Structure formats: C-alpha cells, structure tokens
Amino acid sequence: MNKTLVAYFSASGVTARLAHNLAEAIGAEVFEIVPKQPYTKADLNWMDKKSRSTLEMKDSSCRPEIAESKDVSSYSTIFVGFPVWWYREPSIIDTFMESADFTGKTVVPFCTSGGSGLGDSAANMQRLAKGARVLDGRRFSPSASADELRSWAGKF
C-alpha cells in the first residue's frame, strides 16, 4: 500500500494547477475537495467582514460541507493542498480532515499564497486527523517546476 493521493481545495484555480502538477510529477492520483455550496466571488472577498469566507474563518468550529467524500484507506501518503486563508488552511480542509480515517497515513500539507506560509495548518490538521502523521509541509509558488515538486515530495 504505497499509493499516493494529492487532495486539494482551490478557490481560484491556482492551487488546482499546482496540485495537478504535483500529482503528475510524482505519479499520484488526484482528488479535488469541492464544496457542496460553491464559493462565489463575493464569498471570497476577504475585505468584506460579512463574506462567507471571512465568517467561516472567524469560527473555528465551522465545517463547510464537501460535495463528495474520498475513501483514503488505500493510500499511504496524502498530500493536502489549499490556498492560505487568514494564515491557515481554509475551514473546508478541516472538514476533509475529519471526513476520513487517516490512521497510519502520512499527511503532507502544501499551499499557495501571496506571501503567507502555512502558519499553524499542520498542527491544526494533526489535531483533526488523529492517528495520522502530519508533516510540516510547504508553501509553493504557483509556477513551481515539476523537478522542484518531485524533489520535495521525494522526501516523504
């Protein structure tokens, strides 16, 4: 059971491109974490204190519903990608981490951001995925090369 999965949430397509490039570079399967209620442009307006994304991120117990869950039982390593929102993983990633049994799995976060790093994302994800080994992960430029992604992912 050495199968690898690249699971990702992408609000604008930037993280999606990186996730697909990573999966192709390492020969992994891909799973998109899709919200049951898609985010609109207004939902993603972080400048609006009443936007959906702002309200979700202010409430640490918020768990946006996922359109489809993923059985992760056949994977040993799961890369989880997301854009950084408010210095951490979006709440929908928390939903994903609680949606499956990650016991015995290695989980590696990766993110895209205009400049913020992963913050407390790995610690948050570890708390939600009991029994998993969640590593620190890394922030990537959207233009990360296949060689850069392969070299990084090869460490796990």
The DSSP code for 85 is B
Q: Please give the average per-residue pLDDT across 1-6, as a whole number.
A: 88
Residue 47, C-beta contacts closer than 8 angstroms, at least 6 positions apart: none
Domain ranges of the chain: 3-153
**What CATH superfamily classification does 3-153 receive?**
Flavodoxin domain (3.40.50.360)
Q: Please give the average per-residue pLDDT across 73-93, as a whole number.
A: 93
pLDDT at residue 58 greater than cutoff 90: no
pTM for this entry: 0.93
